[in-house]
């Protein structure tokens, strides 16, 4: 038997082509590696020897050729670090200096943009390289008709997608010492009395956090392991199994433990930290979340982000996250660097892009990968990253990502198997909604158009309703409920008719509206649904014609509901005069998320992002 430390990593040689390399560990105390237990000694096993970078002796002439790299939200920090490392040395490609710049987008949206050829961007703003955090997004883009992907993509670094739990919870269930199978994870999540039976009734129900598989790799991985566990083996999942009605039914049951879906792992981790920072415990928001190792490292060193864009560094949390590596396997985000083709890319830009891709796999590039919290292409982590992130030095069951037909089958299945929603759209219709934001739109008409488009996210079985609020001269809150919360299959036409008929009027009884409609939604609360309100407001509480509830009382009532019949209130600040602080406090009190459309022309995109939570 092979007694040295070994590592398994995933390498991407082309779209949909995945190979496995087993390598021995480096004798470097600053690095740690993955190691399968009791692995047989393979033939010709050796480490990748990363060549040194070969920058130019002097930089080429200006203006520099710009190489734009589009990353995912999850791996944006790594890509930015790689760009900075490349830019720090002189480059000369075809006589020109080179500057690499980075942008980021949610994985699912980026795949669609690649497939469409970036129609809203000018040619000089389109990327030359796409570096999603997993090969699966190449499959999604190809399925959507992408023609700009070259067949020579290469992996840049690796981050395993694991189950992460607050340390006290992991210890209480024993998974910090003996990792479970994925089937055991889903069984535990379905047990309403689990924490009570383990002596911790204060933790409530098991709350499992997942991102949307249509937006993020961790959400995809969560669905892969859910289908795999239901089929009997997460490592050998097939498209036929994904489409099997009996397996779909079991996955549908798994999804009932999901609190709600979010667009990025950082959304969940931000809320967990907020729960701790406001005097509670991260267990108030989540019991476990399916997330990549790098995000665990960020969280444990005190870095969080409300929106996935702006990162805030604070003190490390008192309750550290523990990554759990299920014994039947977990998938690895493999970060493929894909050069694009298109008529916006000239030959020099193409050559410069190739030089940056070459740099990614040099010793200096891989050093930047490790420093950014990722495993390099030998499976190695920085020692500091492993220690702070509590990351396993030798996890044993990394899985190659599923084949393209499995990926597309899982994406296609999600609208049917996801947890259904019980959602009320609650719209501020005070007089300020008449404000013009373009030659053809007021804030109200733009909001109506955005809500109509967002309605397309919901499918049969989702219960959706519409209400609006303003204060009339006599002090009454008007107009109130416009379309009852009911199955969208039968109520869609009525909802759209009611939406089209909204007019602006009166003042803004924000606190009263939130308090009233949250209580109404709580009356129809169901553990089998995501119970929520989507609140869109363009102003501050302003109710001069009759006394209404105050902010403190409203928040206290929301807190009480959160412990019994929790209603998530997703708040959307609409326009520059929106009361951002109050809207943030409302969403935080309910464990939901705040969204920023203070530029009202962005309401369609922001609301489209918001409804991925359902």
Q: Tell me how far CA of residue 477 lies from CA of 284, 484, 498, 528, in angstroms.
A: 33, 17, 17, 31
Q: Do residues 158 and 273 lie in contact, with contact meaning Cβ atoms separated by under 8 Å?
A: no
Question: Which residues touch 580 (CB under 8 Å, ≥6 apart)?
Answer: 573, 594, 596, 598
Q: pLDDT > 70: what percent of the chain?
A: 93
Domain limits, the chain: 1-155+335-378, 159-332+409-414, 419-613
Query: How many other β-carbons are positioned within 10 Å of the β-carbon of residue 311?
Result: 14
Read off the pLDDT of each residue in 2-25 and give the average, rounded to a whole number: 30
Read off the pLDDT of each residue in 300-321 and give the average, rounded to a whole number: 89
Residue 22: band (very low, low, confident or very high) from pLDDT cuts 50, 70, 90? very low
Residue 243 has pLDDT above 70, yes or no: yes
Read off the pLDDT of each residue in 173-182 and give the average, rounded to a whole number: 96
SS3 for 7-58 is EEEEEEEECCEEEEEEEECCCCCCEEECCCCCCCCCCCCCCCCCCCCCCCCC
**Model confidence over 83-139: pLDDT tens digits?**
999 999 999 999 999 999 999 999 999 999 999 999 999 999 999 999 999 999 999
Q: Report the half-sphere exposure of 216 (CA within 13 A, side-chain side).
A: 27
Q: Could you tell me which residues are beta bridge partners of residue 470?
A: 478
Q: Report the half-sphere exposure of 542 (CA within 13 A, side-chain side).
A: 18
Q: For position 43, what pLDDT does the model report?
A: 46
**Model confidence over 251-284: pLDDT tens digits?**
999 999 888 888 788 888 988 898 888 888 898 8
Q: For position 524, what pLDDT does the model report?
A: 93
Q: Which of 514, 508, 493 is nearest to 559 (CA)?
A: 514
Read off the pLDDT of each residue in 51-60 and give the average, rounded to a whole number: 97
Q: For position 47, what pLDDT does the model report?
A: 84
Residue 365 has pLDDT above 80, yes or no: yes
Read off the pLDDT of each residue in 36-63 and give the average, rounded to a whole number: 75
Q: For position 41, what pLDDT does the model report?
A: 36
Compute the distance between CA of residue 289 and CA of residue 258 in angstroms, rounded to an integer: 10
Give all strands (DSSP E) within 400-444, no chain letters: 420-428
Compute the distance between CA of residue 95 and CA of residue 610 in angstroms, rounded to an integer: 46
Q: Does an H or E element contain 104, and which?
A: strand 96-105
Compute the distance between CA of residue 398 and CA of residue 23 in angstroms, rounded to an integer: 14
Read off the pLDDT of each residue in 463-476 and give the average, rounded to a whole number: 95
Compute the distance between CA of residue 233 and CA of residue 225 in angstroms, rounded to an integer: 9
Compute the distance between CA of residue 234 and CA of residue 214 in angstroms, rounded to an integer: 20
Q: For position 309, what pLDDT does the model report?
A: 77
Q: For position 31, what pLDDT does the model report?
A: 54
Quote the CATH superfamily of domain 419-613. von Willebrand factor, type A domain (3.40.50.410)
Q: Residues in the chain, how many?
A: 614
Q: pLDDT > 90: what percent of the chain?
A: 77
Compute the distance between CA of residue 158 and CA of residue 166 in angstroms, rounded to an integer: 23
Q: For position 32, what pLDDT does the model report?
A: 52
Pick the more confident residue, 456 or 395: 456
Q: For position 45, what pLDDT does the model report?
A: 47
Residue 318 has pLDDT above 50, yes or no: yes
Q: Which of 299, 301, 311 is nearest to 275 (CA)?
A: 299
Read off the pLDDT of each residue in 74-84 and give the average, rounded to a whole number: 96
Q: Which range has the worst mean pLDDT, 71-75, 313-317, 389-393, 467-471? A: 389-393
Give me the phi and psi of 426, to 5 degrees please. Answer: -120, 115
Residue 4 has pLDDT above 90, yes or no: no
- Work out the mean pLDDT of the chain and round it to a whole number: 89
DSSP state of 548: -
Question: Which residues touch 114 (CB under 8 Å, ≥6 apart)?
Answer: 70, 130, 141, 146, 148, 149, 340
Q: Is the dihedral of CA 307, 308, 312, 316 positive or negative?
A: positive
Domain 1-155+335-378 matches domain 159-332+409-414 at the CATH topology level:
yes
Specify the pTM.
0.88
Residue 50: band (very low, low, confident or very high) from pLDDT cuts 50, 70, 90? very high
Read off the pLDDT of each residue in 419-424 and give the average, rounded to a whole number: 96
Q: For position 27, what pLDDT does the model report?
A: 29
Q: For position 239, what pLDDT does the model report?
A: 98
Six token digits for residue 4 = 């040295």
**Model confidence over 430-446: pLDDT tens digits?**
999 999 999 999 999 99
In degrees, rounded to 5, the angle at the alpha carbon of residue 21 between the alpha carbons of residues 18 and 22 is 150
Read off the pLDDT of each residue in 472-478 and give the average, rounded to a whole number: 92
Q: For position 17, what pLDDT does the model report?
A: 32
For 159-332+409-414, CATH number out of 1.20.120, 3.40.50, 3.40.190, 1.10.10 equals 3.40.190
At 577, is the secondary structure helix, strand, or coil? coil
Read off the pLDDT of each residue in 488-499 and give the average, rounded to a whole number: 96
Q: Which of 256, 575, 275 is nearest to 446 (CA)?
A: 575
Q: Which range has the worst mean pLDDT, 293-297, 311-315, 550-554? A: 311-315
Give me the phi and psi of 138, to 5 degrees please. Answer: -65, -40
Residue 306: band (very low, low, confident or very high) from pLDDT cuts 50, 70, 90? confident
Q: Report the half-sphere exposure of 99 (CA within 13 A, side-chain side).
A: 7
Read off the pLDDT of each residue in 568-580 and give the average, rounded to a whole number: 93
Q: Which range has the worst mean pLDDT, 23-32, 176-185, 375-384? A: 23-32
Compute the distance between CA of residue 166 and CA of residue 216 in angstroms, rounded to an integer: 22
Quote the CATH superfamily of domain 1-155+335-378. Periplasmic binding protein-like II (3.40.190.10)
Residue 25 has pLDDT above 50, yes or no: no
Pick the more confident residue, 30 or 556: 556
């Amino acid at each position: 038997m092979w007694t040295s430390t070994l590592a398994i990593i995933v390498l991407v040689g082309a779209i949909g082509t995945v190979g496995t390399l087993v390598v021995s560990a480096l004798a470097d105390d600053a690095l740690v590696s993955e190691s399968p237990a009791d692995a047989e000694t393979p033939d010709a096993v050796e480490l990748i020897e990363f060549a040194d970078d070969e920058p130019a002796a002097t930089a080429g002439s200006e203006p520099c050729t710009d190489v734009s790299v589009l990353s995912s939200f999850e791996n944006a920090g790594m890509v930015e670090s790689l760009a900075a490392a490349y830019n720090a040395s002189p480059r000369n490609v075809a006589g020109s200096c080179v500057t690499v710049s980075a942008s980021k987008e949610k994985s699912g949206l980026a795949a669609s943009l690649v497939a469409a050829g970036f129609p809203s961007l000018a040619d000089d703003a389109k990327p030359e390289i796409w570096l999603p955090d997993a090969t699966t997004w190449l499959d999604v883009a190809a399925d959507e008709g992408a023609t700009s992907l070259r067949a020579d993509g290469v992996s840049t670094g690796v981050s395993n997608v694991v189950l992460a739990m607050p340390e006290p919870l992991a210890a209480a269930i024993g998974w910090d010492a003996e990792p479970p199978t994925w089937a055991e994870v889903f069984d535990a999540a379905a047990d309403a009395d689990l924490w009570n039976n383990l002596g911790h009734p204060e933790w409530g129900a098991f709350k499992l956090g997942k991102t949307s598989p249509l937006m993020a790799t961790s959400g995809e991985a969560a669905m892969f392991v859910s289908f795999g566990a239901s089929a009997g083996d997460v490592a050998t999942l097939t498209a036929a199994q994904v489409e099997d009605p009996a397996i779909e039914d079991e996955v549908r049951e798994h999804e009932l433990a999901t609190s709600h879906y979010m667009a990025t792992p950082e959304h969940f981790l931000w809320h967990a930290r907020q729960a701790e920072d406001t005097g509670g415990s991260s267990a108030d928001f989540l019991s476990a979340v399916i997330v990549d190792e790098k995000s665990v490292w960020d969280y444990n060193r005190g870095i969080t982000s409300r929106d996935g864009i702006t990162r805030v560094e604070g003190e490390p949390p008192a309750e550290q996250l523990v990554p759990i590596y299920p014994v039947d396997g977990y998938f690895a985000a493999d970060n493929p660097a894909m050069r694009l083709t298109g008529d916006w890319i000239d030959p020099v830009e193409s050559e410069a892009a190739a030089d940056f891709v070459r740099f990614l796999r040099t010793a200096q590039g891989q050093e930047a990968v490790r420093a950014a919290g990722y495993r390099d292409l030998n499976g190695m982590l920085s020692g500091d990253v492993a220690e702070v992130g509590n990351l396993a030095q030798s996890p044993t069951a990394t899985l190659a990502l599923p084949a393209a037909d499995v990926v597309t089958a899982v994406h296609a299945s999600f609208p049917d198997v996801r947890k259904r929603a019980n959602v009320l759209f609650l719209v501020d219709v005070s007089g300020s909604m008449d404000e013009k934001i373009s030659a053809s739109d007021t804030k109200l008409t733009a909001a109506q158009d955005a809500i109509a488009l967002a309605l397309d996210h919901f499918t049969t079985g989702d219960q959706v309703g519409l209400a609006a609020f303003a204060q009339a001269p006599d002090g009454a809150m008007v107009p109130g409920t416009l379309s009852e919360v009911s199955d969208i299959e039968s109520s869609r036409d009525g909802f759209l008719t009611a939406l089209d008929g909204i007019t602006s009027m009166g003042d803004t009884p924000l606190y009263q509206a939130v308090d009233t409609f949250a209580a109404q939604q709580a009356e129809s609360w169901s553990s089998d649904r995501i119970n929520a309100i989507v609140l869109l407001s363009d102003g501050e509480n302003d109710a001069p014609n009759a006394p209404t509830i105050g902010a403190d009382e409203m928040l206290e009532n929301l807190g009480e509901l959160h412990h019994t019949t929790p209603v998530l209130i997703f708040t959307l600040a609409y326009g520059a005069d929106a009361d951002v602080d109050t809207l943030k406090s409302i969403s935080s009190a309910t464990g939901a998320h705040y969204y920023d459309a203070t530029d009202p022309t962005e309401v369609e995109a922001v609301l489209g992002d918001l409804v991925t939570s359902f």
